[in-house]
Amino acid sequence: MTRPLPAHRTPTAPRALTCVPLPGSSAVQRPEHPGSDLETLLATYERASNPADRDRLLADVVAATMPLADSLALRYTGRGIDTEDLIQVARTALVGAVQRYRPGAGRGFEAFAVPTVRGELKRHFRDAGWMVRPPRGLQELRAELVPAEDELRQRLGRDATLTELAAAVGREGSDVAEARATASAFTPASLDAPTPSGGTAGERLADPVDVADGVLLRAVVRAEVARLTPRERVILRLRFVEERTQSEIGEAIGVSQMQVSRLLAGVLARLRERLDALVAA
C-alpha cells in the first residue's frame, strides 16, 4: 500500500526560467535540466572542464536567455541603426555576460546581464553615431574600460567610481574621465533619461521628426561649437582633428596639461548639457 506524502512534501512542478518573450513570438525554452534553475545551470557551466560539456551548457544558457537580449535590442529600434545589427550586438553581449558571470558573486544573472547588454547597445549607438571621432588612444582606452566596468559592477554590486575604475585599468583619472566624456559628449547623455513632457529621451529619438535626426543633430553640434571661444575651438581642433596629447596642446597654447584637461572637460560638459537640453525640450 502506498503511503501518502505529508502535506509539506507535496511535489511541486520544477521551477521554470523567466524569459522575456520576443513580441509576437513565444519565449525560447531551454532543454530540461531536472531540479535545476538558471543559477544552478550557470554554476554547472562554470565548473565544467570538458570543452564539449561547456559548449553544450553554454548553448543551453544562451537558448534560455536569448529572448532577454532580443527584447532589450528591440527597445532601441527606429533610431537610425538597423534592427538586425542591434539584435546581433545584444546577443553578442549576452554571450559575453554568460561567459564572465560568476554565480553567487552578485545579485543574480539577470541583474548582471541587463545592464551589460544595455550598456553594449548604448555604446554601439555612440560608436556608430560619433559625429566627432575621438583620437585612437581614447577609443582604445574606452575599449579597456568596458570589461573593467563589467567586472567591478559584478564584484561591487554597483557602478564603479572614477577612482576605482582608473585603478582597475592602471590609468590616470583624468584620462579615464576624458574617455568617458568623449564617448557621449556629442550624443544625448542617456537614452533612458526622463523628459519634462513624459517618457524618455530614447522614446523621443524614435520619432523621425524629432531633433535626433542625424543631419539636424550634426547641424546643432556645428552651431554649438561655433558658440565656443576661439581658444576652446583651437583646443577641440588640436585634440580631435590633429589628435594631439593634452601635454602637446598645453605647449601649443601656453598652459599646463592639467589646465588643458580642465578646459576640455568643461567644453565637453557644456556641449553635452546643451544637446541634452535640446533633446529634452
- Compute the average pLDDT of residues 178-197: 51
Helix (H, G, I), strand (E, B) or coil at 38: helix
Q: What is 132-184's CATH number?
A: 1.10.10.10
pLDDT at 187 over 80: no
pLDDT for the residue numbered 253: 83
**More confident site: 223 or 150:** 150
Least confident window among 67-81, 124-138, 205-219? 205-219
Task: Write the pLDDT tens digit of every residue in 120-172.
Answer: 888 777 666 554 456 677 778 877 888 888 888 888 888 888 889 989 999 88
Contact 49, 178 (CB under 8 A): no
Taking the alpha carbons at both ends of the chain, their separation in whole angstroms is 76
Per-residue pLDDT band at 10 (split at 50, 70, 90)? very low
pLDDT for the residue numbered 183: 55
Average pLDDT, the chain: 71
pLDDT for the residue numbered 181: 66
**Spatial distance between the Cα atoms of 78 and 69, rounded to a whole number of angstroms:** 17
- Residue 131 identity (one-letter amino acid): M
Task: Write the pLDDT tens digit of every residue in 81-120.
Answer: 778 888 888 988 888 888 888 887 767 888 888 988 988 8
**More confident site: 28 or 158:** 158
pLDDT at 8 over 60: no
pLDDT for the residue numbered 99: 86
pLDDT at 61 over 60: yes
Least confident window among 37-41, 85-89, 185-189? 185-189
Q: What is 18-129's CATH number?
A: 1.20.120.1810
Domain ranges of the chain: 18-129, 132-184, 211-281
Q: Supply the pTM of this predicted model.
A: 0.39
Which set of grid coordinates corresponds to residue 18? Answer: 523567466
pLDDT at 191 over 60: no
Give me the helices (H) in 170-229, please: 173-184, 201-205, 214-226
Long-range contacts of 173-178 (CB under 8 A, 24+ apart): 174/246, 174/258, 174/261, 175/141, 176/141, 176/145, 177/265, 178/138, 178/261, 178/264, 178/265, 178/268
The highest-level CATH class for domain 211-281 is: mainly alpha
Helix (H, G, I), strand (E, B) or coil at 143: helix
pLDDT at 212 over 50: no
Which residues lie below 8 Å from residue 182, measured CB to CB, with a gap of 6+?
A: 134, 138, 142, 268
pLDDT for the residue numbered 237: 82
